[in-house]
C-alpha cells in the first residue's frame, strides 16, 4: 500500500505544487496515513492464531519491514524532487486568461 501511494502521488505532487515544503508535507501525510493503515493490517494478521501466512513472526521484531518502509519513504521524497526538477525544466507555468 505504501509503495502504491508513493508511486501514484510523489512525482505528481512535486510536479504540480509550487512549494517544495507543501509538496513534501503532502506526500509525507499521505505516506504516513498509508503506513499506519498497512502496519495495523500486518500486525493484526501476524497475531492470528492460525498463522502460516503472516507477514512477520509476532515473536521477532520486524527490522526488515522497517528498513523497507524507510527506503520507500526516501524514494518518495526523491520522486517529489524529480517532479519539481521536471516542472522547472519545462519552464514557468503561466495562467492564460480566457476572453469571454
The predicted-structure confidence for 35-67, as pLDDT tens digits, reads as follows: 999 989 888 877 776 656 677 776 778 888 889
Q: Is the residue at 94 inside a domain?
A: no
Nearest Cα residue to 54 out of 43, 39, 63: 43
Q: Is residue 21 part of a domain?
A: yes
Q: Specify if 100 maps to a domain.
A: no
Q: Is residue 96 part of a domain?
A: no
Residue among 8, 20, 28 nearest 74 (CA): 28
Phi, psi of 64 (to 5 degrees): -60, -40
Asked if pLDDT for residue 94 goes beyond 60, the answer is no
The answer as to whether 30 is a domain residue is: yes
How far, in Å, CA of 73 to CA of 9, rounded? 12
pLDDT at 45 (0 to 100):
79
**Overall average pLDDT of the 18-36 stretch:** 95
pLDDT at 99 over 90: no
d(CA 72, CA 10): 11
pLDDT of residue 79: 97
Q: How are the residues of the chain apportioned to helix, strand and coil, as percentages rounded to the nearest 5?
A: 70, 0, 30
Sign of the torsion angle spanned by Cα atoms 59, 57, 45, 6: positive
Selected residue with higher pLDDT from 73 and 57: 73
Provide the domain count of the chain.
1
The answer to the question of residue 97 being in a domain is no
pLDDT attached to residue 52: 66
Q: Please check whether residue 65 lies inside any domain of the structure.
A: yes
Higher pLDDT, 7 or 61: 7
- Give me the domain span that covers residue 13: 2-49+58-89
Position 63 in a domain: yes
Amino acid at each position: 500500500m505504501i509503495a502504491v501511494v508513493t508511486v501514484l502521488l510523489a512525482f505528481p505532487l512535486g510536479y504540480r505544487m509550487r512549494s517544495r515544503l507543501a509538496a513534501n508535507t503532502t506526500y509525507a501525510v499521505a505516506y504516513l496515513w498509508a503506513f499506519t493503515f498497512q502496519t495495523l493490517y500486518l500486525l493484526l494478521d501476524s497475531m492470528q492464531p492460525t498463522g502460516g501466512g503472516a507477514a512477520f513472526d509476532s515473536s521477532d521484531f520486524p527490522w526488515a519491514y522497517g528498513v523497507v518502509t524507510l527506503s520507500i519513504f526516501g524514494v518518495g521524497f526523491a520522486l517529489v524532487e524529480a517532479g519539481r526538477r521536471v516542472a522547472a525544466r519545462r519552464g514557468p507555468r503561466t495562467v492564460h486568461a480566457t476572453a469571454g
